[in-house]
Amino acid sequence: MVNFLKRKDQTPSDEQARQHQYVTTVAPDVVEVGYDHLVFSQSVLYPLSVRGTGAPGMPGRPWQKLSAQILNEVNAPYVYSVALRRESPDTLRRSLRSRRTLFEGLMLAAAQKTGRRPSQAESFLDQAMDNAESALQLGEPAYHASWMLGVYAGKAQMERGESARHALEARLRAMGLLPQRLYYIAQRALDHLQPGGVLFPGIDEPTLMLYEAVPLLPPPTRRVMPAPDAVWIGFHAREGRDVYFSFKQGFDPTAPPPPHAITLIMGEMGAGKTSLMRSIMLQRLLQGRTWDAMPENTAK
């Protein structure tokens, strides 16, 4: 039986109610939540998160090896999300102080009762927590971070998406991180990745120093203006911007001109080479320029 009576302290705030209403409105009804993936009408999303160990700012911490450049090896369409929120220095400093005090007390009790001396790893961790507390005391910022990746694949290419996620998991394990496939909680990936979703889904959200958080951000892209004789050939696979091509100035007018006037389009059979040339020819005709796109078919 549903209980419609709520106490006053259980009533959500107006902001939380509006956010929940927006999320439920945007969330599509045609999504099937699998045990570690999301199935849409024409595609499948394979979410992936990651967790690591170590104190903030600890040298050799696995989080320091993770950067946005790892996405260059993903051989499939993907969506990448990084959420950062600056932590309160006083709150985080008190948390680190309490953690370090408890850790040092356990090591001291073990030394007095059993005669066991701290190992090098334990001493190193204690020193790292001391350094992090000192850095916060000196004003260095720390951030609460959330990292999530979603690999897309068509329903006819589900093996490709699964293999891309598996390859990325192997790379993360080599860095000392533990990949998480969101088993039985794939709904959190939908709530996080959709517009207006939850920024911190509560999976594994570490505390990172500034120099640890900056590499997680994708490199900023600059705007590339098309040349006067450029034609549109598609969208950039990673940046999502329009890509224009000029036979005189190439893809970027600010770059040096191509060394020769011959343009070679290579690709497998059925990749769309002829369709691309026909699109270029049509746009050139609209610009008032005429040329033969396939002279080998008309040569005698």
Axis crossing angle, helix 120-137 with helix 89-114, rounded to the nearest 10: 150
Is residue 134 domain-resident? no
Domain boundary among 185, 216, 247: 216
What is the arithmetic mean of pLDDT over 192-202?
Answer: 85
In a shared domain, residues 209 and 149 = yes
Mean pLDDT of the chain: 79
Is residue 115 domain-resident? no
Q: Tell me the two tokens of residue 113.
A: 């009762």
Q: What pLDDT does 193 receive?
A: 87
In a shared domain, residues 192 and 53 = yes
Task: Give the model's confidence band at 7: pLDDT under 50 very low, under 70 low, under 90 confident, else very high.
Answer: very low
In a shared domain, residues 270 and 200 = no
Other C-beta atoms closer than 10 Å to the C-beta of 148 total 21
- Distance of alpha carbon 201 from alpha carbon 66, whole angstroms: 20
State the virtual CA torsion across 202, 207, 210, 213 in degrees, nearest 10: -40
229-243: pLDDT as tens digits: 888 888 877 677 888
Is pLDDT at 293 greater than 60 in this prediction?
A: no
In a shared domain, residues 189 and 245 = no
**First-residue to last-residue Cα distance in the chain:** 84
Is pLDDT at 4 greater than 60 in this prediction?
A: no
Is residue 129 domain-resident? no
In a shared domain, residues 148 and 246 = no
- 72 is in which domain, residue-wise? 14-89+139-216
Is residue 102 domain-resident? no
Domain boundary among 216, 246, 267: 216
In a shared domain, residues 249 and 146 = no
- Distance of alpha carbon 279 from alpha carbon 274, whole angstroms: 9
Mean pLDDT lowest among 21-30, 37-46, 50-59, 291-300: 291-300
Is residue 9 domain-resident? no
- Distance of alpha carbon 249 from alpha carbon 231, whole angstroms: 11
In a shared domain, residues 146 and 292 = no
Q: Tell me the two tokens of residue 169.
A: 């998991």
- Distance of alpha carbon 201 from alpha carbon 224, whole angstroms: 35
What is the arithmetic mean of pLDDT over 10-27?
Answer: 63
Domain boundary among 188, 216, 244: 216
Is residue 124 domain-resident? no
Closest CA to 51 of 59, 62, 60, 37: 62
In a shared domain, residues 170 and 243 = no
Query: Between 104 and 27, whose confidence is greater?
Result: 104
Give the DSSP per-residue string, 159-203: HHHHHHHHHHHHHHHHTT-EEE--TT-THHHHHHHSTT--S--SS
Helix ranges (H only) for 14-84 are: 14-26
Is residue 80 domain-resident? yes
Dihedral of alpha carbons 125, 128, 134, 136, sign: negative
247-286: pLDDT as tens digits: 777 788 887 776 665 667 777 887 777 887 788 778 777 7
Beta pairing partners, 85? 144
- Distance of alpha carbon 266 from alpha carbon 88, whole angstroms: 54
Is pLDDT at 11 greater than 70 in this prediction?
A: no
Q: Tell me the two tokens of residue 161.
A: 């998406």
In a shared domain, residues 158 and 276 = no
Task: Tally the domains of the chain.
Answer: 2
